[in-house]
A and B are shown apart, each in its own frame.
Chain A
Amino acid sequence: MFKLSFFKYSILALVVLFSACTKKETAPEPVSALEIKTFSNLSAPQTGGNGQPTGGVFTRFSFSENAVVTNNNWDIAFRGTTILVNGGTQIGITDEPTRTGNAGVSIVSGTLESVTSIPNASTFVQDATAIYAIPTGSNNGWYNYNATTNIISPIAGKVFVVKTYNGKYAKFEILSYYQNAPTTPSASSVSKYYTLRFVYQPNSNTSF
Chain B
Amino acid sequence: MILNRYLTLFIFFLSNVIYGQELKKENIDSLQTNQLEEVVITATRTEKKVSSVPLPILVITADDIAKTGTARLNEILAEQTGLLLTPSFGGGEGIQIQGLDAAYTLILIDGVPLVGRSAGTLDLSRISVGNIERIEVVKGASSSLYGSDALAGVINIITKKTQKDKFSGDFAYRQASFDTKDASLNLDWKKRKLTTSIFGNYFSTSGYNLDKNAILPTVEPYSNMTINPKIYYDFSENLKLFISTRFYKQKQDNRSIILGENYQGISTIQEWNAQTKLTQKWNEKITSEYEIYATNYKADEFLNNRYDQLFEQNYYNQWLFRPEIRTHFSIQKSKLTTGIGLNYETLDRTYFGNQVIFNAQYMFAQYDWTLNSKVNMIIGFRYDNHTQYKSQLSPKISLNYKINDYFAFKTSLGYGFKAPDFRQLYFDFTNSAVGYTVLGYNIAQNRLRELEAQGQIVRRNSNIDFSNALKPESSLNFNMGISFQKDKVKIELNTFYNAISNLIDTKVIAQKVSGQNVFSYFNIDKIFTYGLELNTTYLISNGLKLSFGYQYLIAKDNSVLQEIEEGKIFARNPQTLQSFKIKNEDYFGLFNRSRHTANIKIFYQIPKINTDVNLRVFYRSKYGLFDTNNNQILDNYDIFVKSYFLTNLYLSKTIKKKYTIQTGANNIFNFTNPAEISNISGRLIFLKLQIIF
Contact = CB atoms under 8 A, between A and B. Distances in A.
A111 B552 contact: no
A181 B577 contact: yes
Nearest to B571: A156
A173 B568 contact: no
Given A3-B489, A6-B491, A173 B579 contact: yes
B577 A175 contact: yes
B66 to A, nearest CB: 27
Given A111-B570, A156-B570, A10 B534 contact: yes
Nearest to B632: A139
Interface in A8-65: 10, 14, 18, 21, 23-24, 26
B466 interface: no
Given A157-B569, A157-B570, A111 B630 contact: no
B622 interface: no
Contact of B489 (A2, A109, A111, A173): A2
B610 interface: no
Contacts of A109: 568, 570
Main secondary structure on B side of the interface with A:
strand
A153 B629 contact: yes
B581 interface: yes
Nearest to B595: A18
Interface in B473-495: 484, 489, 491, 493
B631 interface: yes
A158 B536 contact: no
A35 to B, nearest CB: 15
A156 B491 contact: no
Contacts of A112: 578-579
A176 B578 CA distance: 10
A110 B566 CA distance: 11
A144 B572 CA distance: 13
B631 A156 contact: yes
A173 B578 contact: yes
Nearest to A144: B630
Contacts of B491: 3, 6-7, 10
Indicate the member of A2, A110, A157 with the most B CB atoms within 10 Å. A157
Contacts of A176: 577
A197 interface: yes
Contacts of B591: none
Contacts of A157: 568-571, 579, 581, 631
B580 interface: yes
Interface string B486-526: 00010101000000000000000000000000000000000
B585 A23 contact: yes
Contact of A24 (B532, B538, B569, B584): B584
B484 A6 contact: yes
Contact of B538 (A3, A18, A153, A197): A3
B487 to A, nearest CB: 10
A2 B568 CA distance: 50
B583 interface: yes
Interface in A61-94: none
A195 interface: yes
A118 interface: no
A175 B578 contact: yes
B455 interface: no
B693 to A, nearest CB: 41
A11 to B, nearest CB: 8
Interface in B621-638: 629-631
A156 B489 contact: no
A10 B577 contact: no
Interface string B579-601: 11101110000000000000000
Nearest to B584: A24
A36 B580 CA distance: 15
Contacts of B631: 155-157
Contacts of A144: 630
Contact of B493 (A10, A110, A183): A10
A114 interface: yes
A176 B576 CA distance: 10
B260 interface: no
Contacts of A183: 574-575, 577
B532 A14 contact: yes
Contact of B581 (A10, A114, A153): A114
Interface in B527-567: 532, 534, 536, 538, 548, 552, 554, 567
B547 to A, nearest CB: 11
A154 B569 CA distance: 14
Contacts of A153: 629-630
Indicate the member of B534, B571, B577 with the most A CB atoms within 10 Å. B577
B484 A111 contact: no
Contacts of B552: 14, 18
Interface string A140-181: 000010000000011111110000000000000101100001
A139 B629 CA distance: 12
A37 to B, nearest CB: 13
A139 B491 CA distance: 51
A7 B491 CA distance: 9
A120 to B, nearest CB: 18
Contacts of B536: 3, 7
Interface in A103-156: 109-112, 114, 139, 144, 153-156
A175 B574 CA distance: 11
Nearest to A156: B570
Nearest to A173: B579
Contacts of B569: 157
B574 A197 contact: no
12 contacts: A2-B489, A3-B536, A10-B534, A21-B585, A109-B570, A111-B578, A111-B581, A154-B572, A156-B571, A158-B579, A173-B578, A184-B574
Given A155-B630, A155-B631, A157-B569, 18 more contacts: A3-B489, A3-B536, A3-B538, A10-B493, A18-B552, A24-B584, A110-B570, A110-B579, A111-B580, A112-B578, A153-B630, A156-B570, A156-B572, A156-B631, A157-B571, A157-B581, A183-B577, A184-B574
